[in-house]
Amino acid sequence: MDSSANKIVLKMSLTEARSVIWPFRELKGQTIGALLDKGLLSFQDLGYAAQRAYTERLREASRTILLHQLMEEPLTSEQGHGPLNVMSTERRSFAESRQIQFAMLQGTIMGGLIGAFLVMLFWSLSARQNSQGSGESLTTLSSRPSGIITLVLALIIFFGLSLAAYYLPGKDLDYLVIKRLDKQ
Kindly report the number of other CB atoms within 10 A of residue 146's CB atom.
16
**What's the average model confidence in pLDDT over 134-154?**
71
Interatomic CA distance for residues 64 and 74, integer angstroms: 17
Indicate yes or no: pTM above 0.85: no
pLDDT in tens, 26-47: 788 888 889 888 888 888 888 8
Q: Which residues pair with 21 in a beta bridge?
A: 31
Contact between residue 62 and residue 47 where contact means Cβ atoms under 8 Å apart: yes
When mean pLDDT is compared across 23-27, 102-106, 129-133, 145-149, the lowest value belongs to 129-133
Question: How many CB atoms neighbour CB 62 within 10 A?
Answer: 25
Between residues 135 and 149, the one the model is more confident about: 149
Phi-psi region of 84 (alpha: psi -120 to 50; beta: other; left: phi over 0): beta
Tell how many helices (H) and how many strands (E) occur in the chain. 9, 0
pLDDT tens readout for residues 66-90? 888 888 766 555 556 677 777 777 7
Rounded average pLDDT over 148-176: 72
CA dist., res. 70 & res. 75, Å (int): 8
**At residue 6, what are phi and psi to the nearest 5 degrees?**
-90, -5
Encode burial over 9-31: b for 16+ CB neighbours within 10 A, e otherwise. eeebeeeebbebebeeeebeeeb
Non-local (6+) Cβ contacts of 147 within 8 A are 123, 126, 127, 130, 141
pLDDT confidence tier of residue 176, bands split at 50, 70 and 90: low
